[in-house]
Structure 1
Amino acid sequence: MSPVGIIKTALPNMDREAKDRYLLVIQAKDMVGQMGGLSGTTSITVTLTDVNDNPPRFSRRFYQYNVPESLPVNSTVAKIKALDDDIGPNAEMEYRIVDSDGLSVLQISTDKETQEGIITLQKELDFEKKSSYNLKIEVSNTNIDQRFQALGPFSDTASVKLVVEDVDEAPEFNSPLYRMSVSEAARVSTAIGTVSAHDPDMANNPVRYSIDRNTDLERYFNIDAKTGVITIAKSLDRETNEEHNITVLAMESQNPAQVGRGLVLISLVDINDNVPEFPVEYETFVCENTEHGKVIQKISAVDRDKPPSGHYFYFSLASGAGNNLNFTVQDNRDNTAAILTRRSGFSRQEQAVYFLPIVIVDNGVPPLSSTNTLTVRVCSCDGDGVAHTCNAEAYALPAGLSTGALIAILACVLTLLVLVLFIVTLRRRKKESLVFDEEKDIRENIVRYDDEGGGEEDTEAFDMTTLRNLNFIQEVKSRRDVTPDVQLLAKTTRAISPDNIIFGELIWERMRKADTDPSAPPYDSLQTYAFEGSGSVAESLSSLESIISASDQNYDYLSDWGPRFKKLADMYGSAKDSLNS
């Protein structure tokens, strides 16, 4: 068996925290280590395992943290951590508060991963009530090795002070909910109640009040900005809105961003301001063969008011109808009444409808009343009292004329009305189309008048002599529908000019078309022609030509105007005579 080397510790107390690893070089020799023997070496690493021989320790004895009073609940206030030279499970710690003046406000827990003590807030902080908190915190190992108890204690303590910082807070109302009541008959500007709020900060700044109009859209109420007194701004009606739930805002005068909110519930006290009335429109009838004392209708009433002791109504006939011989009202004393007949037998031929005025009185203070009309129709009924016919007009029909015949007659009348309307519509459309065609028929400019002409006097306003100077003979073609009395003979009275020939051809061509046009009207018409000649009979009146020309020019134009105008007049008169012929 080969010899075994045993490695032992040389020191009695080894400390892992001082050195946790050792490197050994081991040599082995044969021949018991004598000369000539052989040897070999190897390296051995020795690692020390940890034991819980070190207690946790705080790095400081006193810790201080500043905390704003606005910090929300469950927020982390501070973190503290103790040191432990051990590792692994031997370094696991536990924190707890052993002494504090705020045990209900603060608590501490251990973060298992970081081994930190986490201080959290359990209640809201209020700088004005308490400005600081003192805590004594203890830390200890969770795994304690009993062999090293003598090295203990395996725990440590430290003091923690939390200083609460003042924060500008919104105003606070003295009550979370204000309940007020007011009569619905209260006048405008009547005071309902008062709300109060204060600045919780040490500065105690003044507070101004207002109403959140999102909760009072109709603006029924106002509030005094300084005193907080709520008043009525407009008339109230309990039947429209029995309660008003509004929000009042309190604002710091020095910091308008800080706004507090308070709730106000305003209840309206009812007054008797609504009359009782029928809940529905009753459809009441009485049979022709009814008996005396027959109940034909049971009625009730409603009232929008809400008296404290409940409603109580009284029913009766109106004073003018108290001696009614046909019907009567019986008050049942339970907010209902019955309508009874006072005689037997009714006839639709005599009277088809009865109007019964019924007075309803409530028990309000003061009591109010109203008169409601009950319409009672007379109907023919079967043996079980079921109404069949309530139409009185049926009795006024001729004998043997049934409802079907009436319907047929009405249908015929409606048919005739439709036919008449159709014919009238067609005539209107035809008339409109004729008027439209006349407007479109634009042959010439035609002037119509009913006055008798004056003969030759009509031509005195315009001398037609010039137009008769046609200077050529034109074959006259008569209209087929008109026989001329005198045939036109052209006369050659003077030399023919080119302008006269062109103008004459134009007039004769237009006259031929008018005579041969079958659609032309068979009466005289005024026709207008536009014609531009090649030059003036008087020739040019300009003096520019005399400047260019070297010949002598006569500038005495006034002496030449007489003959020239006479020549034009003669041409115009000739044309006029030709047209008149």
Structure 2
Amino acid sequence: MYRHAVLCVCLTVLVLFPCSESCELRPVHALVPKTIPAGYIISKGTKELNLQGCGLRPVAFTSSDPDFAVNTDGTIITLRGMRITTKHFAVHVKDESGYDWRVDVILTCKDEASQKSGNVVHRRFKRRWRPLPFAIIENDSPPFPKDVETIASDSSVNYTVYYEISGPGVTTDPVGLFTLDRDTGMIRVNRAVDREQYPQFVFKAQVFDRRTQQETDQFLPITVNVEDKNDNAPQFVGSLFFTVQERCSAGTIVGKVNATDRDLAKTHHTLIKYTLLNATDMFLIDGFTGVLSAKSNNLDREAQEKVYVGIEIKDMGGAPDGLSNKGTAVVTLTDINDNPPTFKEKLYKGQVTENQQNVLVLRIPVEDKDMINTPSWKALYEVSKGNESGNFRMETDPKTNEGLLYVIKPLDHEKTPLVKLEVTARNEAPLVGTSATWQSVPVELTVGNEDEGPEFTAPILRLKVKENLPNGTVIGTYAALDPETKSSNGIKYYKLTDPGNWITVVENTGELKVANTIDRESPLVSNDLYNISVKAVDESKKIGKGMVILQIEDMNDNMPVIPGSELIMCSRGDTLSSVLVEGVDKDQSPYSTPFIFELGAEHDGKWKLKDATSSSVVLEQAVHMPNGLYTVPLLVKDLQGLGEAQTVNVRVCSCEREVDGVGVCGARSASSSLGSWGILALVLSGLLLLLLCLLLIFFCSTKREKVALNDDTGTGGMLLKSNTEAPGEEVKDGAFMTLAGADGLDGSVNGIMADIKNVGLAGGHYSQQFGQGGGVYNNTTQEFGTEKYYLSGRHNGSLYGANTTYQKYGNVNTLDTWRSNKNYLDRKLAYLGEEEDGRYADDLLKTYGNEGMGSPAGSVGCCSNLGEHETMDFLNTLGPKFRPLADVCYTTTNTKK
């Protein structure tokens, strides 16, 4: 049944289509061993590969599997050894007309068990499904459905079967593309399919027993290949914009045009041919690679900057029935400097007034065909001829590219009324790809005349003069001429600058006369040169200026001298010391060095000279001399014998160091020789320091008065220094003065104790002299907080000494009892504990730490915190030095009682 169906189809095709197009190639089936060696012939002279029955001749074979090759006669052979069970690949056959044919090759291994010994029981194996892979044509034309192929299973011999298929194209996307006649096994396609979307379908076929609904055979994968049809035109891929330099050589690659085709690769359906539609005189394109290149070296950007090139791409290798597409490539020509700037005129003329400078006199325009604002377009100008004096400068206008001609040095109408120049223009970039050269143009400038001021015969006049010339001496004439008349008539001369006022200019003649002494050694002279400036004024008040440089020649008007106040000669013990004496002369040779050194006639013979040079001599001791300051008469003469005796002060001292041969005296040596003025300065400094100390004591004593409290009971509260370990006679009762109130000390309460004067000791008795009243009582009022306290006390003056005049010790002490003092102190402490503002730091309570470990007296700070009441037991532990003091105090107290 299957063979009859195929025969009918073939007959129908042969009737409807020509023979070459009705050829149907069946797959090639080959039975091979499981192990195939290299070079094994699969099929020899295969008729399907030779296109037998198709009326065509094959010209090339291509295997889709690299393990197999096809000879020119259609024989399939293996290229390497392998083991297989089944193998499926394809062979592409290209015919003489350029079409590709596909032939499937299916390899099945032999059943080697059937070839073994006859003793083995032969077992028949169930044959598998037939047929082999199917093929349909993409985008096939209606009507649909169309029969594809019939499937059949050998199990249909023993069973009444039906078939089912499932998978892609059947039950999955695209669903319903294929259907199956379950009774006959005919597979049909129901609509057109696009190979570019679905190149292949692999679905599953199954066979079932109608009675038991059980599978009677194993399922079979069915492969349906969608054969390509040339239904996609090629498309351009990538950019079609290209750039190439103008004047490039022929064959220069401009770029590559890329295209693609969705049809089956490596077939005529995707074989694209490129063709230029225009600009064929400028460019070439490779028909199968798409490489675009320059055809000649005459591409000119100035003629056409962008070239629009039409390109056609066509598949089937450009065959008439191929599908095509068109596009436009844009080729931009980049600029090179193949055009020099050209002048618009053959001659440029301008005008300038004489004596003008730094002025623009002419604009010179140019044309350049190259790209604007590039180095190939920007022009550079220079005055190539006529600017030997440097009077002109050329610049470029950056906006217009014009040449700007400037006069930078004044021109003279009388010398050159017409100036001829030549201006050359070039680009920033060098010329390329052309035989043209840089161009030049002549320029003529007319120099206008104006009334000018007088001009000196020489801008700078140099004169040689000797120093110390007499006033009124004529040293030269500096004259000027009128440029128009070439005459000096009516011109007057005036001096502009003369730092030393050494020269006078004669107004009518321009003579230069000496006005003051010319001194070469003056600081106004530099390198023997002295400058003055002169102006000339004509009748029209025009001014011309000039300069006179005086080169002053030296005269012997300076004697050599020995600089410095004194020389230091370092004392070296018993060795005779020496010092270097140098002379200086402001004059030049031959009026200066070499000097002649001699000792003065009045020298004392203790010095001598040695090792003289052109400008120095060594002064050495003739005998050893102690440290001190010495004067040495020394005569110094220049080369002409001009000189005088000079006195040199030489200090001989013990040097603490020497710097570059010059000694530095030590501190002891320097202080021992101060002299009378130095001693007087030291005495005055000491007196000033003493006065400063007295002033400080005065200011400190005039601060807020503090109440002085006494701890004793009326003895005067003063401790006497004793050099004995026990109380002597000087510290007994008689040593203290008991002041009687009625005899001399009691007086008016308003009495003020004056200064104690002329206090002395005579015959073991004390004498006192008091001034400003006989009373010594002083009333003192001190404010603490808001309360006032009145303190009345006895003033006591205590004198100590023996047989000499002693300085006074003044003190204000109260003679009140301990109880009165306690009350006063309690009040003061209460006040100090309440407020801190406005008081001295000494009046504030402060906290101090214990000043020692185990001290029975605790802290001895003047303002320590008041703690527990301390007993007087610590007095028993005091050392022996305190006992004389205790005895004195005790004796004094008993005496007063």
Same fold at TM > 0.5 = no
Question: Going by fraction, where is helix more abundant, 1 or 2?
Answer: 1
TM-score (norm 2): 0.29
Between structure 1 and structure 2, the one with the greater Rg is 2
TM-score (norm 1): 0.42
**Larger relative contact order (Cα-Cα within 8 Å, sequence gap ≥ 6):** 1
Question: Going by fraction, where is strand more abundant, 1 or 2?
Answer: 2
